[in-house]
């Protein structure tokens, strides 16, 4: 048994984590049902944020909630010059990481055939970072054309960016999802621990679960998969490049987990992780 008397390890265990471990995690029937999302799909588009990693830190682009745009500001706003679009988890279909990455590569090829330019990839997450999507940053294409492509991939909406505004543009496949325009807010911040959503973002995180019983093995697997997704996209100053040892029960054992992460369908705006 791991000694949990170390205050630093105990604080790490008490930290909130950016996903919910499903009920019945150690039972097959509990792992075959997609967990309910923290927010509705419609609301997820309103609160989502897009993170670019730069040499000096992260830049997070999101809709500002300070005040709504006035009609005059909307009329005077510059037209969108960048689009954020993804092929991940089409209409909530359960997909693994490798499947989502293949879909995005196919989307990239189709956009290139339309003459569009791919300027990079942004990590799209909710504020609590309970799921993540890779969004292609696209220029040089008409709105009608990119909306048609997004519909082909069963995406409910795309995001349009101008120098000063952010707009959610529905594709029409999700009833009830309305478009909206807001002030664009770009926030620069150091890449603190993406696996903590408590008040100690500069502290190290610790693995959940362990190599003991079924529930703890699966909890550790969820933690490792989610940490890998967030670290590669958002970075982490406390862990440097992600190779720093992790505090917690598996720090010395290396975490022998018998399940392949590739067998997981990723958490998304439609719900949590699922085993096939």
Q: What angle do CA 17, 212, 7 make, to 5 degrees?
A: 50
Encode pLDDT of 71-108 as tens digits.
777 777 777 889 999 999 999 888 999 999 999 999 99
The confidence band for 143, taking pLDDT boundaries of 50, 70 and 90, is very high
Q: In the chain, how many H helices and how many E strands?
A: 7, 10
Encode pLDDT of 219-257 as tens digits.
888 888 898 899 889 988 777 655 555 555 444 444 445
Q: Is beta strand 157-161 parallel, antiparallel or unpaired with respect to 82-85?
A: antiparallel
Name the pTM for this structure: 0.85
Sign of CA dihedral 60, 20, 45, 115: positive
What DSSP letter does each residue of 145-214 carry, written as one string? HHHHHHHHTT-SEEEEE-SSEEEEEE-SSSTT---EEEEEEEEEE----TT--SS-TTSPPB--S-SSSH
Q: What is the mean pLDDT of residues 54-59?
A: 83
Mean model confidence pLDDT for the chain: 82
Percent of the chain whose pLDDT exceeds 70: 85
Q: Please enumerate in sequence order all residues whose Cβ is within 8 A of that of 266, keeping only pairs 6 or more positions apart, or say none.
A: 88, 89, 95, 96, 97, 100, 131, 132, 225, 229, 273
């Amino acid at each position: 048994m791991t000694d949990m008397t170390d205050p630093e390890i105990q604080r790490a265990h008490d930290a909130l984590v950016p996903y919910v471990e499903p009920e019945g995690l150690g039972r097959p029937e509990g792992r075959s049902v997609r967990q309910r999302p923290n927010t509705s799909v419609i609301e997820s588009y309103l609160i989502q944020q897009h993170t670019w990693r730069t040499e000096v830190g992260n830049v997070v682009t999101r809709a500002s909630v300070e005040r709504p745009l006035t009609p005059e500001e909307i009329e005077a706003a510059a037209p969108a010059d960048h689009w954020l679009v993804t092929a991940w988890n089409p209409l909530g279909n359960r997909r693994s990481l490798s499947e989502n990455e293949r879909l995005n590569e196919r989307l990239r090829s189709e956009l290139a055939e339309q003459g569009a330019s791919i300027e990079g990839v942004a990590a799209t997450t909710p504020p609590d970072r309970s799921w993540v999507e890779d969004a292609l940053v696209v220029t040089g294409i008409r709105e009608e054309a990119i909306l048609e492509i997004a519909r082909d991939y069963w995406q409910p909406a795309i995001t349009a960016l101008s120098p000063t505004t952010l707009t959610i543009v529905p594709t029409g496949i999700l009833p009830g999802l309305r478009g909206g325009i807001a002030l664009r807010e770009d926030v620069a911040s150091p890449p603190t621990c993406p696996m903590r959503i408590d008040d100690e973002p500069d502290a190290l995180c610790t693995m959940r679960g362990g190599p003991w019983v079924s529930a703890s093995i699966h909890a550790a697997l969820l933690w490792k998969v989610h940490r890998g997704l967030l670290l590669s996209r958002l970075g982490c100053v406390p862990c440097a490049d992600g190779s720093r040892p992790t505090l917690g029960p598996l720090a010395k054992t290396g975490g022998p987990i018998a399940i392949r992460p590739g067998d997981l369908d990723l958490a998304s705006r439609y719900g949590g992780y699922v085993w096939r």
